[in-house]
Amino acid sequence: MFQPENKTTLDNGIRILTHNMPYSRSVSMGVLVNAGARDELSAESGLSHFIEHMLFKGTKRRSAYQIAKEFDAMGGNTNAFTSMETTCCHAKVITSHTGTIADLLSDIFLNSVFDTEEVEKEKPVIIQEIGMVEESPEDYIHVLTGQCCWGDNPLGSSVLGTRENILVFDSNRIKDYFMRRYQPQRTVISAAGNIEHDHILDIIGPAFETPERGSGFPDRIAPEVKSGVNVYEKDLEQVHICVSLKGLPLTDHNRYTFSLLNTVIGGNMSSRLFQEIRERRGLAYSVYSFISSYTDTGMLGAYVAVDPVNAVEAADVIIKEISKLKEHAVDSGELKDAVEYSKACLLLSSESTDNQMFRQIQNEIHFGRFVPLDEVIKGIESVRKEDILNLSRNLFDSNNLAITLLGPVSGAKQFRNLLAI
C-alpha cells in the first residue's frame, strides 16, 4: 500500500502511472487533463464540462449506445467530472476487464467525433443540469460563494457555464477547444489495483503515443479575494449562508496546518461549529466548514442552513468561532483529536483503488512526484497548536471575509456589522 507507483512518460509528454495493489480484485483507471473551467475565457465558459459530456457520445469506432452498453456490461462504476482545473474520465472494474476498460477510455479520449447531432441533443441536458444546481440551495450557494469570493476571475464562474453559452456552442468550436487545451503534456493516465505496470503500458501506451505535443498553454491568473456581504433573495424555507475567507494553494508548505484548522473549525461532528451551532444552540441540521484549494490560491468556507429568524445569529457564531482561532491557540487535546481523525481518513481511504488512482494523479500534477503516505502522516503529526494560531492570524482578516446569503433575507445591513474580525 505504501510502495511508490511506477511512472512512464511517453515521447509526447503523456504520463502513465500505476500502483500495484496485489490483494485487490478491482482496477481503477482514469485519464485526467490538467485543464478545466478556470482556463476558459468568458465566452468559452462551460466548454470543458460540455466536452466531458461529449466524450461519451460517440467515437470513430463506437456509437454513444455502444459506449454505454460496453461500460454497463462490465459492471463496476464509470464516471467523469470537470473541475476548475481538471477534466477526467475514469472507471472501476474487476481485474479481468482491465484490457476492455483501457480500450474504452483510450477510444473516447482520442477518437471522440463531437458529432453535430449529438451536440444539439446534449445542450438541453446540460441546461437541465444548470437548473438542477440552481434549484438545490446547498449546491447553488457554493456557486454564488465562488462568484462573490473570486469576482470576474474564471474561478468565480460556474463549471457548468451559462445557458447563453451552451446554446451557441457547436461541434467545430468544441473540437477546436479540445485540440487547443487537452494537450498530451498536461495529460496523466493512472491505474491502481491488481495490475502490472508493463501490462498497462502494453494495452494503453500505443494508442496514447499518437497525439502530438501541444503548442503552449495560457497562464492562469490568481484572483484577489473579495470581501463584503452578498444577498440573493429567493423564496425558500431556510436561509443558506456561506462565510468565506482567503485560504492556501494546494502545495503551500502550511497545507497540513490548514487542513487541521479546517477539521477543528467545522470538519467533523466534534468540530467547533457543529457543536456550537447544532448541538448547543439547535440552530441547524447541516453545518460544516470546507476548503477549496487550487494551484495558486484557496478559500476556507463555512456553510449553514437555518430558519430566517436565526440567520444573523448563525452567521455571527461562525465569524466568532473563526475569530477565536486567531485569538487563542487550540487546546492540545483538540489538536490531537484532529490529527488522529485526519490520519484515519487518509489511511482508510488508501484501501480504495479509486483513491489510490486519483491520489497518484494529484501528486503528479501538483508535486511532480510520488508522495508517500508516511510523508503525509509525518506532515500532519508535525503540526503544532502554535502553527494553527499563526496561520489563523495570517489568513483571517476583514479584508478577506465575505458572507453570501441565499433565501428570504430582508437586507444586508445587519450582516455587514458582523464583518470585523
Residues annotated as part of the active site:
52
Alpha carbon distance 405, 412 (integer Å): 9
Q: How many Cα neighbours within 13 Å face the side chain of 86?
A: 22
Which residue is it, cell 481503477? 28
Strands of 137-258, DSSP E: 187-193, 228-233, 239-246
Q: CB-based contacts of 341: which residues, under 8 Å, 6+ apart?
A: 263, 267, 268
Alpha carbon distance 116, 123 (integer Å): 11
Residue type, 126: I
Q: How many helices and strands (H and E) does the chain possess? A: 16, 11
Reduce the DSSP state of residue 169 to 3 states and report it.
coil
Angle at CA of residue 213, ends 211 and 216, nearest 5°: 140
Reduce the DSSP state of residue 182 to 3 states and report it.
coil
Residues 222, 369, 216, 154, CA torsion sign? negative
Answer for the pair 194, 95: CB distance below 8 angstroms, yes or no.
yes
DSSP state of 184: G
Answer for the pair 11, 5: CB distance below 8 angstroms, yes or no.
no
Answer for the pair 288, 242: CB distance below 8 angstroms, yes or no.
no
Answer for the pair 276, 314: CB distance below 8 angstroms, yes or no.
no
Alpha carbon distance 301, 265 (integer Å): 10
